[in-house]
Structure 1
């Protein structure tokens, strides 16, 4: 069905054509009139009185020679004027048609972005929105310590809304990566949807910033309380770092080096963040003493970000040690449960559409896995989480329902793997790209849906992609280049936004418009 806008175009075009034709006809008629006027009046009696005697000869000469040049002058001028007006009108209409943007005319609109440009825009939007959500979560953890739940509820609500929008954007991008939808126009719209969802996440956080700043009052009376909270958390982390180091040493004695590999270097990074936090807390105290609330708030926010990431790193070590102990205790039960699942499979009581040959091959594989795990248990240090992962995957391939201890083993492994990938992305978010973030978001969805094996695989993939990004970025900035201690790590961790030579403003609660509102420099 033709729209009203489209149906209106021919009528307007025809109306303009009729007006232009009428103007041209009138111009031609005027010109012709001037041309035939002398002929029509040539035989008429001259109504003008007789000229003086001295002009008689000239008049006789004119009558003898026919129509004079003056008789053609006015018609010629009229014709030239008509042609000039017609040409001017044509040029004006052509220029207007090229520049007008109203319906029914041709417009010189900017070219549509290419698919590559749209993809780059969507990737950048995902990274920015994810950074904003993570930073907002960090700052809100400090506000939760000082204020009651009703006071912080609006900001929790805004953060949850932003997380929902970000999760939807990640899901759209993931389907786009997998080639869905197929249609080019639909794929372009999918990218627009990613950017729109990310923009909405940022808008929700930006809208909550004025109220949060009013609650915390970091540039006023709230600064002293916030400093005490950050310093108290700093001192707690300093003690936990020592305890976590002891736990990591014991872990390495009981398990293989591969078991501790996910947290290798974490305590060193935590100490680096704490050194950076020490410097920023001292700077915040000095700025507060001189009455420079703007600079004090910025230095405090940088210190809070460093303390929060040190907490993530230390907690990661503690959690891995605890999960390895839990996994070691669960391995015997998982072996027993796996043997029961294999016995069910041998009887043919399977739920999946496996042929007898496929079932026989998978049962043989599961037997081999269980035998390998038993040998590791008696051979010395081993990786309990890896043993549980292998047991759970061997049983999962039997399609017997995957219940009991093997299912509990798969869930334990998946939770640890998702949490480990989450920690790594958080403390390296300044350099991690969208692929790792999207895989991690999908792993969290799969874990929430109870698909532990799928969540474990996606989390491991996300961790690998994030480590690839970190290796590709390197560490071009060091303290030897004139930076204060820990600045390079703070930039990699996204604590500082890397917009200025000193590392840039600290990242704060908020979206793209407000997250860099604080400054490390003195007030002007």
Structure 2
């Protein structure tokens, strides 16, 4: 059955028009009857009185003429008024029907968004959904430190569902960037899918935010325990930071600057976050003592966000040190395994058909890479992860189809690249745009699928784009924070939502509707 919205004006509207026309006609008929009535009743009037002398009284004639004129004028005015009102009502109804937007009336559709508008909307949706997922993950870590698994399972499931929706949105956008699909209508639908997936991710988190608040009860008795958890993690990080500084110094002695570059400045940023956390934890304590539960909860959430990011930064230094040690231990085995792969390729053990010229060129390149790595091992400090990356790539180009130490080397390198990009985006999300986030999501997918080489390349691309975004945004450590230590860095890191001059509310577990629900005034 075809909808009345598609056919045009609904039948009920036509019925209303005919009723109004009938009313107008009735008005005209009544007015006309009123006009004709005096004429029809002239013959029925009483006889003209006769004087005793047999003559008609002379005073009656003027009276009859005057009464007849009045009787004709009033009905005429009524008819004209009825016709005028009917015409005016018809014009108004016609004009209103053309512009009405109420259900049942077809209105002029607003202009369709341009492809550029749709792309901007999709990019904004991706950034917002990614921020919501990351901040929800941060607050959830504090909840899990305090409550049992059965209490937090619904929150974890909602976060996982949001992560799934976000990953699907990133995959759709990535294909869109690559020109898939090609049809214009299908491409518009792809953008709609990106926005819809991101909205669903936010909805999942928004739906569970009230449950998290009830569980934590930050504006009630739960605030004291939550403060203890946050302060405990703060003290633990404060103790780990000097050790991480010693570790970083040792890395500078053993490796090249390029090897340590992924965590350059991390400990300084961690100290900045911890300083900000100190201020907010003190403010939360003061607000709690003053009975200001809502403000105390907001200050606590800001402190928790800063502590979580300081943890990411310190852990990033520790993890890189571990990865570099593992890589250095794996380099000799990777060299031996690569030599075995080269020997197998020379004997014709190549899984893909190559011309003799192509095979010779690839073998020569692999020999050159192995020789360069051996020289670096004896020349002084070097980058073990980069050495493994070059060995794995050289063997991969031979396409022998074998697994061994070079494959293990490729996996270690890919994991390091993905983790490094993840850390960088997390602690700089206030400035990182959608391109880096989508590339990072793709790197995670490739790593999960066992495509170590592609995961490494994509993660490094994501890190490069994210660093460009931060450089364009500016370095927060060169700005004067005045009486609010670490405020600029907290905004850059997404700890605060940058909605107000004081940095805005802290970000918490939830989607777009609930993540900024904890508000506070800036400390004096």
TM-score by length of 2: 0.87
1:380-413 per-residue CA deviation (whole Å, 9 max, x = no partner) reads: 2211111111111222222222521111111100
Aligned to 1:65: none
Question: Does the CA contact (< 8 Å) of 1:479 and 1:486 recur in 2?
Answer: no
Partner residue of 1:457? 457
Change (3 A) 1:11 1:108: closer
- Residue 2 of structure 1 and its aligned partner are, at CA, apart by 5.2
Q: 1:445 corresponds to which residue?
A: 445
Give the Cα–Cα distance (whole angstroms) in 2 for the partners of residues 385 and 56 of structure 1.
127
Match of 1:509 in 2: 509
Count of residues paired in the alignment: 515
146-155 or 88-97, which deviates more? 88-97
Matched, 1:54 2:58: yes
**Counterpart secondary structure, 1:480:** coil
Q: Aligned in 2, Cα 1:476/1:261: closer, same or farther, shift over 3 Å?
A: closer
Q: How far is the alpha carbon of 1:453 from its aligned partner?
A: 0.8
- The 8 Å contact of residues 227 and 300 in structure 2, kept in 1 or not, is answered as yes
1:482 maps to 482
Q: Aligned partners of 1:476, 1:443: CA distance in 2, in Å?
A: 28
Which runs of 5 or more structure 2 residues have no equivalent in the other structure? Answer: 50-55
Report the alpha carbon displacement of residue 33 of structure 1 after superposing the two structures with TM. 9.1
Deviation track 1:8-40 (CA, whole Å, cap 9, x = no partner) reads: 8586687678768877888888999999999x9
Of 435-444 and 470-479, more deviation after overlay is shown by: 470-479
Q: Any idea what the Cα deviations from partners look like across 1:349-376, whole Å, max 9, x if unmatched?
A: 3333544433333222222222222222
Q: Report if the CA contact (8 A) 1:439-1:461 is conserved.
A: yes
- Structure 1 residue 496: deviation in Å? 1.5
User: What residue is the counterpart of 1:304 in the other structure?
Assistant: 304
Give the corresponding residue for 2:240.
240
Larger mean Cα displacement after TM superposition, 82-91 or 25-34: 25-34
Structure 2 partner of 1:423: 423
- CA-atom RMSD in angstroms: 3.3
Q: How is 1:87-486 mapped onto 2 (pairs within 5 angstroms)? A: 87-101=87-101, 105-475=105-475, 480-486=480-486
Rate the CA distance shift 1:78–1:383 in 2: closer, same or farther, 3 A. Answer: same
Mapped contact 2:9–2:106 kept (Cα < 8 A): no
Asked whether the equivalents of residues 429 and 494 of structure 1 are also in contact (C-alpha less than 8 Å), the reply is yes
When residues 300 and 4 of structure 1 are mapped into structure 2, their CA distance, relative to the original with a 3 A threshold, is: closer
Q: CA deviation at 1:125?
A: 1.9
Structure-2 change in CA distance of 1:522 and 1:15 (3 Å): closer
Structure 2 CA distance for aligned equivalents of residues 162 and 57 of structure 1? 97
**Partners of 1:333 and 1:353 in 2: CA distance:** 28
Of residues 399-408 and 14-23 in structure 1, the stretch that sits farther from structure 2 once superposed is: 14-23
| Alpha carbons of structure 1 residues 504 and 34: separation in structure 2 relative to 1, 3 Å | closer
- Structure 1 runs not aligned, ≥5 long: 63-67
Q: CA deviation at 1:102?
A: 5.7
Distance 2:225 2:69 in 1: 102
Q: In 1, Cα distance between the equivalents of 2:16 and 2:339?
A: 88
From the superposition, tell whether residues 5 and 223 of structure 1 become closer, same or farther in structure 2 (CA, over 3 Å).
Answer: closer
How far apart, CA to CA, are the structure 2 residues paired with 1:59 and 1:139? 99
Deviations 1:208-235 (A, max 9, x none): 2222222222233222322222222222
- Deviation of 1:428 after TM superposition, in Å, equals 0.6
**Cα offset, 1:304, TM superposition:** 1.5
Deviation at 1:467, TM superposition (A): 0.5
Give the Cα separation in 2 of the matches to 1:379 and 1:325. Answer: 18
CA shift, 1:339, in A, is 2.2
CA shift at 1:432, angstroms? Answer: 1.0
> Which whole-Å deviations, capped at 9, do the CAs of 1:457-490 have from their partners, x for residues lacking one?
1101110111011101114686735342111111
Q: How far, CA to CA, are the matches of 1:350 and 1:47 in structure 2?
A: 126
CA contact (8 A) 1:432 1:466 kept: yes
Closer, same or farther: CA 74–209 of 1 in aligned 2, 3 Å: closer
